């Protein structure tokens, strides 16, 4: 399990996966939105939670098709499907590797980018916490979508169409946590729901993704 995780992390960095691309996209979005919206601080502060979460979501989406694509191309996925390791565990490890490469760096740089969007200081810790709780769901749901489209030509567009509707609850509650935190409002409910989405996805979707991979490999 540990060896598989380290292997996926090495592949992600060596093959130029979503690490640099996702961070660059997140940075550009945070810089370009103020230029397009204008310098009005109150306007930027109002839209900052949603923009930051949309940016993180789209940055994660950029590298989803690579979760299983490289293994499918070189035949490693067939070996993993017949290995002593449960395929559900393989899916979970790959989702974890994707989160480490994309979700975690996005979470770490988000406070710095929030400066461009004039997010109130009270919202900074809640931005980090919401991304820590919510981005694992993005990776796990993305792994499920990648499993459904593995082996398909030009499956990236289909993957986006499948995954984006499933991302909506995470986006809504993640942005709401940041908004309420920035305005010093009660946020226990959206925070609990955000955590529940990640926990529920982690508990159920590896099994669904493993079943989809088995069907696609037949």
Residue 201's pLDDT band (cuts 50, 70, 90): very high
Based on the structure, what is the number of domains in the chain? 1
Strands (E), 131-206: none
Q: Which of the 8 DSSP states describes residue 121?
A: G
CB 87 within 8 A of CB 4: no
Residue 200: give the domain boundaries: 2-217
The predicted-structure confidence for 93-142, as pLDDT tens digits, reads as follows 999 999 999 999 999 999 999 999 999 999 999 999 999 999 999 999 99
The predicted-structure confidence for 185-194, as pLDDT tens digits, reads as follows 999 999 999 9
Q: How far apart (Å, rounded) are the C-alpha atoms in residues 171 and 141?
A: 13
* pTM value surpassing 0.95: no
The structure tokens listed for 33 are: 């939105």
Counting other chains too, the contacts that 182-191 makes at CB distance below 8 Å and 24 or more residues apart are: 182/45, 182/48, 182/49, 182/119, 182/120, 182/122, 182/123, 182/126, 183/120, 183/122, 184/122, 187/126, 191/129, 191/130, 191/133
């Amino acid at each position: 399990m540990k060896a598989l995780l380290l292997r996926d992390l090495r592949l992600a960095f060596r093959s130029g996966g979503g690490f640099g691309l996702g961070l660059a996209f997140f940075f550009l979005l945070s810089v370009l939105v103020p230029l397009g919206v204008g310098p009005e601080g109150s306007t930027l502060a109002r839209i900052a939670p949603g923009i930051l979460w949309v940016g993180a979501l789209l940055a994660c989406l950029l590298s989803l098709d690579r979760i299983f694509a490289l293994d499918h191309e070189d035949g490693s996925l067939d070996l993993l499907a017949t290995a002593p390791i449960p395929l559900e565990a393989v899916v979970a490890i790959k989702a974890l590797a994707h989160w480490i490469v994309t979700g975690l760096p996005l979470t770490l740089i988000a406070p710095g980018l929030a400066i461009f969007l004039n997010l109130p200081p009270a919202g900074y810790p809640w931005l980090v916490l919401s991304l820590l709780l919510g981005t694992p769901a993005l990776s796990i749901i993305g792994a499920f979508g990648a499993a459904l489209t593995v082996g398909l030509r030009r499956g990236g567009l289909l993957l986006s169409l499948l995954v984006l509707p499933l991302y909506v609850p995470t986006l809504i509650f993640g942005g709401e946590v940041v908004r309420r935190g920035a305005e010093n409002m009660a946020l226990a409910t959206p925070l609990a729901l955000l955590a529940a989405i990640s926990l529920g996805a982690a508990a159920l979707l590896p099994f669904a993704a493993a079943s989809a991979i088995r069907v696609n490999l037949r």
